[in-house]
DNA sequence: CAAATAGTGTCTCTTAGACAGTATTTG
DNA sequence: CAAATACTGTCTAAGAGACACTATTTG
């Protein structure tokens, strides 16, 4: 049996509960950056809505716990991977006991969230991030961190989280980035900045008003002709 | 007593051990970016040296655990605050049991580390980060993350972690940044980039070869005249 | 004065940002 | 043709990077 310098074994150390809390972000058809909230189990408290979370189970990774919490609490089976944001470790942050929380962000297309909200309108709520305030625990802060993470990613690359269905026009891509960043972008400059990071399908839109637009896909790793 | 949707209380959940592991980074007088290693307690294993770490104690924050581990294992009492990097969560990553590790980076001046190494040369080792490979667990990866974090911070601001004793010349500041970034910087451009982020003391060096250099301090929050 | 270090002027190249134009569709 | 959308040319301002020069010290 392993013993540390003070002679203790692993079992001698009291252990915290470890939770995950996740800000699920998406961009609605109206161009608003929204976060998914769920009705809290203990509805007698003042704060009714919170980010989905759960306790980590044995043999499970944090990412698996995030996916399980979303499946259980919102019926959501996202295709994308959660990213870690921060560990909240104040020993007194949860009055139920000693609980560490690993905050995550998960970005997923509106089309994967909307059926879920339609199916459980009383338990699941999509709120614009600007209006999702006053959440319990550290959840306000988690939303802030999640939004900052998302914006940093979208400033780097075109639609890194695959929010847009392929193929897409530059116009749709730009409207998405405007929604994520919360600011307008010049169509001409935006085009030049992202064009060499996209794959031109050679096809165009048809039947719409205005000149047909070229259709693009995300750049896969060295996709040959 | 709180019960979750499946009727379980907090005590019904098995809990992982939570550890912290820390890459203590510093820049030596020779301009090498180094990481602090300690001799592992279980020296019968193949990997002899590792990053300092410990298990989180009840009522303690992660940052406190980091400081305690450095005090216990290296006699180090750093003035700076550790920053979180990543949670390593593979359930099988430690054969002693279920252990999560929260990786940290802590940046501290060489003058605070050198006496420690001199006092315990058999237990504490300062290694250039380029040579600190083959460490146990996820420690190689932690060093990588720590270096990336440090470099990102030093690309943003002049000496954000206070590695330099004040006041300092632009030359010393530039040599520090070159050591951290691992690349040469143009003296003239570097000067222009950082000058408005420094506070001019109005004093200069004396007694050195060459023209005396102005002495600067880090910019404190709105330090008036 | 030579060597060494500190600091300034300025040129070039790239990039972000802005504006004005041309191109191609629907109705 | 008007309206709408797609796309291009080009100007400007700011910044990164590079080079050459001037300034002030020691020995």
| A155 has a pLDDT exceeding 90 | yes
Instruction: Work out the minimum CA distance from B96 to partner chain A, whole angstroms.
Output: 7
Within a 10 A sphere around the Cβ of A143, how many other Cβ atoms?
23
pLDDT digits 0-9 by tens, A160-175:
999 999 999 999 999 9
CB contact B60 to A (< 8 Å): yes
How far is residue A193's CA from residue A157's CA, in Å, rounded to a whole number?
A: 9
The reported pLDDT for the residue numbered B223 is 43
Show which positions of strand D are touched by protein (CB under 7 A).
3-10, 16-20, 23-27
The reported pLDDT for the residue numbered B84 is 98
How far is residue A20's CA from residue A5's CA, in Å, rounded to a whole number?
A: 31
Q: What is the band of A90 on the pLDDT scale with cuts at 50, 70, 90?
A: very high
The reported pLDDT for the residue numbered B42 is 60
| A224 has a pLDDT exceeding 60 | no
Q: CA B200, C1' D24: Å apart? A: 19
**Mean of pLDDT values over A132-140:** 93
| A105 has a pLDDT exceeding 90 | yes
* A136 backbone dihedrals φ, ψ, rounded to 5°: -75, 170
Within a 10 A sphere around the Cβ of A177, how many other Cβ atoms?
22
User: Could you tell me the sign of the dihedral formed by the alpha carbons of B151, B67, B139, B55, in that order?
Assistant: negative
CB contact B17 to A (< 8 Å): yes
Of B60, B91, B96, the CB nearest to A61: B91
Q: pTM of the full predicted structure?
A: 0.91
CB contact B59 to A (< 8 Å): yes
The reported pLDDT for the residue numbered A225 is 33
**Mean of pLDDT values over A48-74:** 95
The reported pLDDT for the residue numbered B33 is 95
**Residues B35, B4 contacting (CB under 8 angstroms):** no
How far is residue B78's CA from residue B24's CA, in Å, rounded to a whole number?
A: 10
How far is residue B47's CA from residue A9's CA, in Å, rounded to a whole number?
A: 20
Give how far Cα A50 sits from Cα of A23, A43, A54, A109, A138, Å.
10, 11, 12, 20, 10
How far is residue A190's CA from residue A177's CA, in Å, rounded to a whole number?
A: 10
pLDDT digits 0-9 by tens, B24-75:
999 988 889 999 999 986 656 565 899 999 999 999 999 999 999 999 999 9
| A15 has a pLDDT exceeding 60 | yes
Nearest Cα neighbor of A150 from A67, A26, A6 is A26
pLDDT < 70 stretches in chain B: 1-5, 41-47, 221-225
Q: Which nucleotide is nearest to B204 (CA to C1')?
A: C6
The reported pLDDT for the residue numbered B224 is 40
Q: Is B43 helix (H, G, I), strand (E, B) or coil?
A: coil
């Amino acid at each position: 049996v392993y013993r540390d310098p003070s002679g203790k074994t692993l079992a001698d150390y009291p252990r915290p509960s470890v939770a995950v809390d996740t800000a699920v972000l998406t961009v609605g058809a109206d161009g608003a950056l929204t976060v998914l909230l769920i009705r809290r189990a203990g509805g007698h408290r003042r704060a009714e809505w919170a980010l989905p979370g759960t306790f980590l189970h044995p043999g499970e990774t944090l990412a698996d716990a995030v996916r399980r919490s979303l499946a259980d609490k919102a019926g959501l089976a996202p295709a994308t991977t959660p990213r870690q944001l921060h560990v909240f470790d104040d020993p007194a942050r949860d009055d139920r006991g000693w609980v560490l929380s690993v905050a995550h962000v998960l970005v997923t297309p509106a089309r994967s969230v909307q059926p879920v909200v339609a199916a459980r309108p009383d338990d699941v709520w999509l709120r614009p991030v600007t209006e999702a305030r006053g959440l319990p625990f550290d959840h306000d802060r988690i939303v802030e961190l999640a939004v900052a993470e998302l914006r940093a990613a979208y400033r780097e690359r075109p639609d890194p989280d695959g929010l847009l269905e392929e193929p897409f026009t530059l116009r749709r891509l730009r409207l998405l980035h405007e929604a994520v960043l919360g600011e307008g972008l010049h169509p001409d400059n935006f085009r030049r900045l992202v064009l060499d990071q996209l794959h031109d399908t050679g096809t165009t839109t048809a039947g719409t008003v205005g000149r047909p637009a070229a259709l693009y896909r995300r750049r896969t790793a060295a996709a040959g002709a």
